[in-house]
Structure 1
């Protein structure tokens, strides 16, 4: 009887050790399979900003966009449609934006393209003063 109980205890301890070892090894594998979202950054991309009028009376706007250095470039009374392409080195979680302001009513479409792919857009509408922004964060 005592021998049988000793065998049971030994079997239980060995089974428990294998269970713990299996859990530890399976958890460590998960850590290695997680993709780092920052992988591939910094990188150089082509960024295109587009602003087009959606209402007939809107012919020019004040436009601000993120330039190659990361600062803002401001253009006053810019004729529409507007398009600007830049090449910029970007890091993970950095962002770019294009914004408009006008003392006139109307509607416009703001778009941002990265390497030819549309990544952000906005279509503000106003009966008095038109303001809008399109923003994209790299991830």
Structure 2
């Protein structure tokens, strides 16, 4: 009988953790406090100086959600003035992910032209939530 209670307790805890992780997936978060670490060169080179916001997608080769994120962000950038999307594959460059404090892929960083992190999204972004968070930084209405 005790084994049944242990099994039941384990299932309840696992379900709670799973629901918590699902709720966090794709949520737009404010940037982390500014650190003294310089921006990695790969990210600095990827920023578009002519764009108000560059969406920097951090991904890896075998990440299935990264493909979905790439399609979503590319489409969003094509339809939105002042928005650019770049995809950085960090499979062979873990130092880039480490410097940006990225622990999972995909992670999307919205960066200003001068390299400031405006917001970040862990997982596949929710399109409407991301657009709403980007509007103040774009300076123009978005579709």
- With structure 2 as the length reference, what TM-score do the two structures score? 0.30
Which structure has the highest strand share of the two?
A: 1
Q: Structure with the greater relative contact order (CA < 8 A, sep ≥ 6): 1 or 2?
A: 2
- With structure 1 as the length reference, what TM-score do the two structures score? 0.31
Larger Rg: 1
